[in-house]
Amino acid sequence: MSKRETPRSKAGEAPLTLSESRRYYALLKKQGKALLSHPDTVRLLLKKPKKVGLALLALVPSKDPYAEVRRQWEKFYQKFFGLTVDLSAVRIPDVQADFSRLIIVAQGITLNVAMAACKKRFPTWQYSDDLDASVIENNRTAAGGAYAVWFRSRVEADEETKNKSANDLGAEHIKGITLLERILMELEYFGRTGQHLDIQNVTLCSGSRYSDGRVPSARWGGGRFYVGWCGAGCSLSDLRARVAVS
């Protein structure tokens, strides 16, 4: 762009003069050039320079606050599954207080695939040899594309849900973790820390069901990662769901 040229404007708006453009650039500094195509809006802002900063923050698109966590999960799928995935377009649910662990489930990752990745890195035991065939109900799946879900960032499952069965949680409309989400959570935590989850308690995967109506469960004990089961009406103090925000 030459010294005499000014940015192109929307139809019906007079282009900015060279003086106006210079004042605008000085005012913006590093906040962006998104408003250059709206000269009348720029002129209004120039009349109220003290309010320009807040106005620009509202009008100029902000950076993705979850860009780094997206990259971390892309690296996770490359490292543990040999998959190259693009998670830049995955919708991130609104975060709630106390929920800081984000799980992104990539399309194409099944229960059997996830357990196979675990078996390569630590001992496991599972109630069914073919979890894909046995677990037939899940509250969330990536069949239509990758998705994200928030959980509390804790080693042990949520104390808030102790003594509540899967039936109780359903009646209270409390969303719980699925078995696949819990397996990915184990694998991600192990890859990041070398440690395991649910050392003292058991995660009730209330977001999933086996074909016989039983509820999957997961824990670390006896030097291995267990994927077991319990009845939908079973409630114990050490059997706890992980509440999901999706």
Helices (H) and strands (E) in the chain, counts: 8, 9
56-60, 69-73, 98-102, 231-235: which range is least confident on average? 56-60
Cα angle 66, 67, 73 (rounded to 5 degrees) comes to 90
pTM exceeds 0.85 for this model: no
Q: Is pLDDT of 21 > 50? A: yes
**Pairing of β 224-230 and β 147-151:** unpaired
For position 39, what pLDDT does the model report?
75
The pLDDT tens digits for 123-177 are 999 999 999 999 999 999 999 999 999 999 999 999 999 999 999 999 999 999 9
Q: Is pLDDT of 106 > 50? A: yes
DSSP 243: B
CB atoms within 10 A of CB 32: 14
13-27, 44-58, 146-160, 231-245: which range is least confident on average? 44-58
As a residue count, the chain comes to 246
